[in-house]
């Protein structure tokens, strides 16, 4: 015992390790793995497809065209003075990102079980790398959105003056990222025990879209108090509304963004706590 003090151990494996302080130094050591995993996600995804990365652009475009025809031309839903195509695309792009992060990170443990039971590395690398690769896809799609807005302003009868609020765009993107990552790791950890959650999530995220302003504009929603309340409970509502405000004008909903920030913080903290509990017992359960 008397000798222990003189040796500075690098790794100490104990039954319980504090969940509230993830080992950031170690995470930093594995940063190359993080980037390699992001690259793997991006390259492996489109190997052996004919259109390759073009799918990144095609997916939101086709969805937008469908929505424009269905909800814009046929159902004639109001879009708050924004051209229908721009309205739907500006909702679909952030929603695809959020849904992608939740869906993909929620499968962290289940789809990487073979690696996670064979080798040690900071487990958080996995969901963070998935989030980053999804963020990359989102940025490409955001570029598409800006291109199409520009195209509208140039060719169509649409007057566009970029709002100064656009400087807050990174904040909104950060909020979406944290919301998605928080919800995703929470589900990933819980679904190691309750497999049902995995199914519930992809389905639930799909349903949640209808409680967000992707399709329904705020003026439509405000007609019914209950529906408006449900919409406002969804932290993605102020996020999408703010994105539209930034691009198409209007005042930012700071209260809503504050609520989204609070929700993202709570989700992320709970997610981190549960995730770190599960990453330790995971190998014993599968």
Partner 1 sequence: MSQDGTPRVIQVQGVDKRYRLGQAGGATLSEDVGAWFARFRGRPDPRIPIGKEVDGQRVGTDFWALREISFDVHQGEMLGIIGRNGAGKSTLLKLLSRITLPTTGEIRMKGRMSSLLEVGTGFNPELTGRENIFLNGAILGMRKAEIEQKLDDIIAFSGIQHHIDSPVKRYSSGMKVRLGFSVAAHLEPEILVIDEVLAVGDTEFQRKCLGKMKDVSRAGRTILFVSHNMTAIASLCSRVIWLHDGRIRMSGPTNEVVRQYLSTYNEHGESRTWQLGEDAPGDDLVRLTGVTLERGDVTEVLTTATALRVRIRYHNLAIADNDLNISIHLYNGEDILVFVSGWRAADPNSPVASGPGSVWCDIPADLLSPGDYRVVVNFHRNAKVIFQVEETIAFELHDVKRNGAWFGKRRGVFSPQLVWGAEAS
- Residue ranges that bind partner 1, judged by CB under 8 A: 3, 7-17, 29-30, 32-33, 35-37, 40, 43-44, 47-48, 114-121, 193-194, 196-197, 280-281, 283-285
> Is the CB of 13 or the CB of 73 nearer to partner 1?
13
How would you class 26 by CB atoms within 10 Å of its CB: exposed for 0-12, middle for 13-18, buried for 19 or more?
middle
Copy the structure tokens of residue 73. Answer: 């031309």
CA distance 120 to 207: 36
Work out how close the CB of 101 gets to partner 1 at its nearest, in angstroms, rounded to a whole number: 21
> Is the CB of 118 or the CB of 223 nearer to partner 1?
118
Work out how close the CB of 180 gets to partner 1 at its nearest, in angstroms, rounded to a whole number: 22
> Is the CB of 194 or the CB of 203 nearer to partner 1?
194
Count of Cβ atoms closer than 10 Å to residue 120 Cβ: 10
Copy the structure tokens of residue 259. Answer: 């609520």
Given phi > 0 = left and psi -120 to 50 = alpha, else beta, which region is 250?
left
CA distance 238 to 241: 5
Work out how close the CB of 283 gets to partner 1 at its nearest, in angstroms, rounded to a whole number: 4
> Is the CB of 114 or the CB of 226 nearer to partner 1?
114
> Is the CB of 253 or the CB of 279 nearer to partner 1?
279
Work out how close the CB of 113 gets to partner 1 at its nearest, in angstroms, rounded to a whole number: 12
Q: Counting every residue, how long is the chain?
A: 286
CA distance 267 to 84: 33
Copy the structure tokens of residue 255. Answer: 């209260």
Question: How distant, in Å, are the alpha carbons of 7, 210, 225 from that of 1?
Answer: 11, 63, 68
Work out how close the CB of 11 gets to partner 1 at its nearest, in angstroms, rounded to a whole number: 4
CA distance 261 to 122: 26
Work out how close the CB of 205 gets to partner 1 at its nearest, in angstroms, rounded to a whole number: 18
Work out how close the CB of 31 gets to partner 1 at its nearest, in angstroms, rounded to a whole number: 9
> Is the CB of 34 or the CB of 205 nearer to partner 1?
34
Q: Which of 86, 82, 100, 105 has its CA nearest to residue 139? A: 100
Give the rounded distance of the alpha carbon of 73 from its chain centre.
Answer: 30
> Is the CB of 125 or the CB of 145 nearer to partner 1?
125
CA distance 165 to 168: 6
């Amino acid at each position: 015992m008397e000798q222990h003090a003189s040796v500075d151990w690098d790794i100490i494996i104990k039954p319980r390790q504090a969940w509230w302080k993830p080992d950031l130094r170690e995470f930093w050591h594995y940063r190359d793995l993080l980037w390699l995993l992001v690259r793997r996600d991006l390259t492996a995804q489109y190997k052996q497809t004919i259109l390759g990365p073009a799918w990144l652009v095609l997916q939101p475009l086709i969805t937008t065209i469908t929505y424009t025809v269905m909800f814009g031309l046929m159902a004639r839903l109001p879009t708050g003075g924004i051209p229908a195509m721009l309205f739907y695309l500006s909702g679909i792009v952030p929603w695809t990102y959020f849904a992608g992060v939740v869906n993909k990170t929620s499968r962290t443990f289940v789809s990487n079980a073979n690696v996670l039971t064979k080798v040690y590395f900071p487990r958080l690398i996995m969901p963070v790398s998935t989030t980053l690769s999804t963020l990359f896809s989102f940025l490409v799609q955001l570029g598409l959105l800006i291109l199409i807005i520009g195209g509208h302003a140039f060719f169509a009868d649409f007057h566009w003056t970029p709002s100064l609020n656009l400087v807050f765009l990174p904040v909104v993107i950060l909020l979406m990222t944290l919301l998605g990552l928080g919800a995703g790791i929470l589900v990933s950890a819980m679904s190691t025990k309750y497999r049902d959650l995995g199914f519930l999530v992809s389905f639930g995220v799909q349903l949640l879209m209808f409680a967000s302003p992707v399709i329904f504009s705020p003026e439509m929603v405000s007609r019914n108090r209950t529906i408006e309340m449900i919409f406002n409970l969804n932290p993605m509502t102020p996020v999408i509304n703010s994105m539209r405000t930034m691009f198409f004008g209007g005042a930012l909903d700071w209260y809503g963004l504050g609520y989204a920030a609070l929700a993202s913080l709570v989700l992320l903290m709970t997610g981190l706590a549960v995730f770190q509990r599960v990453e330790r017992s995971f190998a014993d359960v599968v």
